[in-house]
Amino acid sequence: MLIRHGGDLTENDVTPRDVYLRRRDFMSGLIGGGLAMAGGVAANAQAATGLKGVASPYSTTETPTGRADITGYNNFYEFGLDKEDPARNAGSLTTSPWTVKIDGHCNKPGTYDIGDFLRGNPLQQRIYRLRCVEGWSMVIPWLGVPLADLLKKYEPTSKARFVAFETLHRPSEMPGQRRPVLDWPYREGLRLDEAMNPLTIMAVGLYGESLPNQNGAPMRLVVPWKYGFKSIKSVVRISFVEAQPRTAWNDSAPREYGFYSNVNPAVDHPRWSQATERRIGEFRRRETLMFNGYGEQVAGMYRGLDLKKNF
């Protein structure tokens, strides 16, 4: 990100719309009966396929990017800096067993097995745009659970104003962590209201299958109105904190990456414009939309905040 950008892509196929719609009908047709519960996903985190999720009104109707691009063109610096490195190297990551540590200002801190962490929360299918700070974008059919539903179970107290997230730190399986590219582990954070916003999800799958390792298995955050780097992968720790938490990219280059990182075409990155983006699989550039097009749902959270200062 800081190190490389604009590296060029191969133009892989976009899933034909009819194939995609059939898949979607299949998944949403099972509402109510035999719904895959997220706890079940975790029990079989590496092998599950054919996951089902309730279709969500929050989804975009845009055509999703082809699966090959979503799973083959990634940023996951724990596995290397090139876009192809995560798909090549992330197979080494063991995702089961997997625990999540919950700490900070809440009534139910503890270390929870991922199955317990997710249990009882039906999967939803959320088709979201992802806009990377580097200037490319995708449309991804996630399977996930609203983060709010998960966080509420731990009963954050009135002192909790932010939520901090951490990725696994395991250099033996994450070769990128053997080099000081970032101050590992990768960290991210949200204000509590952002974390509780109905658009924010913890994703455990995409395209009807559990997350491939390179996309952040077994679970990763998805915050669709923010630049992609806020969507932290392979999460092992969630902390309810009082002060704004540190984040990996803000630590690394504070002038370039702010805490908020809301998609904003009016605020340039110091080294390039953020006004347009290239949708992977297309050649023409599109205009980048304020809040990545999710303004109706999220603009209210930032009323009165100077988004140029708080970039």
Q: Which of 167, 210, 262, 292 binds ligand MTE (CB under 6 A)?
A: 167
Residue nearest to ligand MTE (CB): 228
Nearer to ligand MTE, 227 or 240 (CB): 227
H/E segment holding residue 110? strand 110-113
User: Interface with ligand MTE by CB under 6 A: which range of 7-15, 55-63, 91-99, 223-231?
Assistant: 223-231
Instruction: Answer positive or negative: Cα dihedral of 211, 215, 218, 223.
Output: negative
Nearer to ligand MTE, 112 or 229 (CB): 229
Measured CA to CA, the distance from residue 222 to residue 128 in angstroms comes to 9
CB of 232 to ligand MTE, least distance (A): 5
Using CB under 6 A as the binding rule, whether residue 228 contacts ligand MTE is answered as: yes
Nearer to ligand MTE, 74 or 124 (CB): 74
Nearer to ligand MTE, 67 or 105 (CB): 67
Instruction: Tell me 214's DSSP state.
Output: G
* Rounded-to-5 percentages of helix, strand, coil across the chain: 25, 25, 50
Hey, what are 266's tokens?
């009016």
Using CB under 6 A as the binding rule, whether residue 76 contacts ligand MTE is answered as: yes
Concatenating the DSSP letter of every residue in 8-69 gives: ----PPPPPHHHHHHHHHHHHTTSSSSPPBHHHHHHTTTT-BS---EE-TTS--SPPPPHHH
Q: Which of 56, 59, 89, 231 binds ligand MTE (CB under 6 A)?
A: 231
Using CB under 6 A as the binding rule, whether residue 257 contacts ligand MTE is answered as: no
Give the number of C-alpha atoms closer than 13 A to the C-alpha of residue 106, restricted to the C-beta side: 23
In whole angstroms, how far apart are CA 206 and each of 128, 169, 220, 245?
11, 24, 11, 29
Q: Which 92-151 positions form the footprint of ligand MTE (CB under 6 A)?
A: 130, 132
Nearer to ligand MTE, 160 or 206 (CB): 206
Q: Which 265-294 positions form the footprint of ligand MTE (CB under 6 A)?
A: none
Give the number of C-alpha atoms closer than 13 A to the C-alpha of residue 24, restricted to the C-beta side: 21
Using CB under 6 A as the binding rule, whether residue 207 contacts ligand MTE is answered as: no
CB of 214 to ligand MTE, least distance (A): 7
Using CB under 6 A as the binding rule, whether residue 77 contacts ligand MTE is answered as: yes
Environment class of 84 (CB within 10 Å of its CB; exposed 0-12, middle 13-18, buried 19+): middle
Using CB under 6 A as the binding rule, whether residue 89 contacts ligand MTE is answered as: no
| Closest by CA position to 168, among listed 222, 106, 238 | 238
Nearer to ligand MTE, 125 or 234 (CB): 234
By CB under 6 A, name the binding residues for ligand MTE: 1, 74-78, 130, 132, 167, 186, 215-216, 228-229, 231-234
